[in-house]
Chains A and B, each alone.
Chain A
Amino acid sequence: MSRARFVSDREASWKRLARVLNDLESRGRKSSALHAELPSLYRAVAGDLSLARHRAYGLALEERLNALSLRAYHQLHGARLGLLRRFGRFVTVGIPRAVRAEGRLMLLCSVLFWAPFILLTLAGAWAPHWVQAALPAEMAAGLDQGFGGESIQRDSQSNLMMFGHYIRNNVGIDFRTYAGGLLAGVGALFFMIFNAIVLGAAFGYSWMQGYSETFLRFVVGHGAPELWAIVVSATGGLRLGLTLIAPGRRSRRAALAEDGRRSVHLAAGAGVMTTVAAFIEAFWSANDFSLTVKLAVGGPLWVLVPAWLLFAGRRR
């Protein structure tokens, strides 16, 4: 069969496929009788592409059929439904399951985070020189100014403004911790331990200076999700780094692709937790309620967050 004859025979089918694809790409998947033809048209054009290649009908024709096939392939295999429901399930069940899937790494990161944190907090009372060594001077001054007085002083009165700032700053820290894991896991550990030291030093400093109650009133509300989010994102980053070093029985490329897509659930989870923490920090934490009220509201979170990570979504 000559090329001219081939093209004239099959042109109608290709034009029809192009029409269906244009309709799908512009109007989305609102069902229409036209769309039902996509599978058969796609099979037809795939067959035509093989024929055109086999009979060497020229590059232009091959490119055209290749383009049509690729577009149809994307439409057939690209269905994504129920985004909001998927996100809801991710937050309630998906994040804890992802965390438990990396149980050993999570345990390691938890220890590596909480140990320096608690040590530096305790150092505030028993070994103040460690706190002074670890805490940057500007941060110390900021803490003095914010919590030195009777009530919590935040330098800006606008809660919404602080919300924006916390999102940008804190979620950025989480994402950078995660991405840093690619440096053989060292980047993730570095960011996490650095944050543990500085934050622990802040706690210790407030104890040292004697305004630990005021400081506690500020942080107890949002501390749990924020600190655990750092651990979760470091776990994700560590997973990346370990896969890079020890891909096991898979090729490095395949291992990275597989584990990368799984570990991003941890990064996204950390982002969600930090967003919640930022919300609490911006709109609740700076309010000047008494320690009892703050503990009553914020205390349960310190139990709930680890419990959620440990138990939510377990299948019987």
Chain B
Amino acid sequence: MKQTDLALPIQTPEGSTLILRPAGIAVRGAAWALDALARATVYTVCAIPLGLLGRTGFAVLMLLLFAGEWLYFAGYEAFRSGATPGKRRMGIKVVQSDGGPVSIEAALVRNLVRFADTLPFAYGAGLVSCLSSSTFQRLGDRVAGTLVVHVPQDATNSSLTLATRLTDITQRRAQGRAQRAQDEQAENSPEPERPAASLTGHEAALLLSFEERRARLHPDRQIELANLLEPLTGQRGEQALATLRANAHWLEGEA
């Protein structure tokens, strides 16, 4: 089956295969814009008190501008697990092309070469490089051997203790809600019914995914999708949907 999204498999030394999802230029552009905004805000906020400090303030401002131009990206990427604040907000991070965390040298070189990416203007060379690479690598990424990937969903845990405690509370509330939803679903869930034909593993996974996603789909859409499997169920409409759900529950519990 042809793949429609970009999933990069990597082999770890432990022998398992992990999937990375490289991020495209829209997300990376948005992250860059957020970072530019953050830096501009810091410059503006600092310029006022520094302006009052006269020449010393000017020196500090110059150093601040230098740090913002050349060291901001490299510093965050090397020491804050591969993500600047803008990248963190957009849910992406920098990793090495073998899947491991980005090293200091790699973070430094990819951001020094950033200057070449901005030529001839507005990241022209970088855009061309991203679009011609199979993994959206700009020039800095190619030279450093890094990738910018989406952060896997489960990894969005905050690092502050207070926030973790809050997450616990909301998690418990959500669990209560989930429990109620589960009970509701248990009432609505149909009797498990074996599929009319034997399915390959991939097809079984599709059915399970359909049952998982079902709640987020409009009822008409659910029926539309169920109709596609008429050769399997021999039914259309609400009946087909019910049969498919029954099949999915059979696969879940007894396959």
Residues of A within 8 A of B (CB): 2-5, 18, 21-22, 25-26, 42-43, 46-47, 49-50, 53-60, 62-64, 66-71, 73-74, 77-78, 80, 156-158, 160-165, 167-168, 171-172, 175-176, 178-180, 182-183, 187, 240, 253, 256-258, 260-261, 263-265, 267-268
Assembly CA distance A63 to B154 (angstroms)? 8
Assembly CA distance A168 to B81 (angstroms)? 27
Q: How far is the CB of B18 from chain A (nearest CB, A)?
A: 5
Contacts of B155 in A (CB 8 A): 67, 70-71
23 CB contacts below 8 A, A to B, read: A3-B251, A21-B157, A26-B161, A56-B202, A62-B19, A63-B152, A63-B153, A70-B18, A71-B154, A74-B101, A158-B56, A158-B58, A161-B55, A165-B59, A167-B66, A168-B65, A171-B70, A176-B115, A178-B112, A179-B115, A261-B103, A263-B109, A264-B105
Q: How far is the CB of B77 from chain A (nearest CB, A)?
A: 13
Question: A261 contacts B106, CB within 8 Å?
Answer: yes
Question: A25 contacts B157, CB within 8 Å?
Answer: yes
Assembly CA distance A64 to B55 (angstroms)? 54
List the one stretch of B27-35, B138-146, B181-189, B232-240 in contact with chain A: B138-146
Assembly CA distance A46 to B253 (angstroms)? 23
- With contact pairs A59-B205, A264-B105 given, residues A157 and B70 touching in the complex (Cβ less than 8 Å): no
Residues of B within 8 A of A (CB): 12, 14-20, 54-56, 58-63, 65-66, 69-70, 81, 95, 97, 99-101, 103-106, 108-109, 112-116, 139, 142-145, 152-155, 157-161, 164, 201-202, 204-205, 208-209, 212, 251-255
Q: How far is the CB of B192 from chain A (nearest CB, A)?
A: 10
Q: How far is the CB of A246 from chain B (nearest CB, A)?
A: 15
Question: A70 contacts B115, CB within 8 Å?
Answer: no
Name the residue among A42, A71, A157, A163 with the largest chain B CB count within 10 angstroms: A71
Q: Select which of B20, B59, B70, B201 is within 8 A of A163 by beta carbon.
A: B59
Question: A2 contacts B254, CB within 8 Å?
Answer: yes
Contacts of B97 in A (CB 8 A): 257
Question: A60 contacts B212, CB within 8 Å?
Answer: yes
Q: How far is the CB of A239 from chain B (nearest CB, A)?
A: 11
Q: How far is the CB of A39 from chain B (nearest CB, A)?
A: 9
Question: A74 contacts B109, CB within 8 Å?
Answer: no
- With contact pairs A66-B18, A180-B116 given, residues A77 and B100 touching in the complex (Cβ less than 8 Å): yes
9 tightest A-B CB contacts, nearest first:
A257-B145, A164-B62, A67-B152, A158-B55, A260-B143, A67-B154, A56-B201, A164-B59, A46-B16
Question: A161 contacts B113, CB within 8 Å?
Answer: no
Question: B14 contacts A68, CB within 8 Å?
Answer: no
Q: How far is the CB of A206 from chain B (nearest CB, A)?
A: 26
Q: How far is the CB of B249 from chain A (nearest CB, A)?
A: 9
- The secondary structure that dominates the A interface is helix
Assembly CA distance A172 to B97 (angstroms)? 28
Which of chain B's residues has its CB closest to A48's CB? B16
Which of chain B's residues has its CB closest to A179's CB? B115
Which of chain A's residues has its CB closest to B55's CB? A158
- With contact pairs A67-B152, A67-B154, A168-B63 given, residues A2 and B253 touching in the complex (Cβ less than 8 Å): yes
Assembly CA distance A235 to B69 (angstroms)? 22
Given contacts A58-B205, A164-B58, A182-B143, 4 further A-B contacts (CB under 8 A): A21-B157, A161-B59, A167-B62, A260-B143
Contacts of A66 in B (CB 8 A): 18-19, 152
Q: How far is the CB of B65 from chain A (nearest CB, A)?
A: 6
Contacts of A168 in B (CB 8 A): 62-63, 65-66, 69
Question: B212 contacts A256, CB within 8 Å?
Answer: no
Contacts of B201 in A (CB 8 A): 54-56
Q: How far is the CB of B224 from chain A (nearest CB, A)?
A: 20
Assembly CA distance A305 to B133 (angstroms)? 42
Assembly CA distance A181 to B143 (angstroms)? 12
Contacts of A156 in B (CB 8 A): 55
Assembly CA distance A162 to B56 (angstroms)? 10
Q: How far is the CB of B166 from chain A (nearest CB, A)?
A: 13
Contacts of B69 in A (CB 8 A): 168, 172
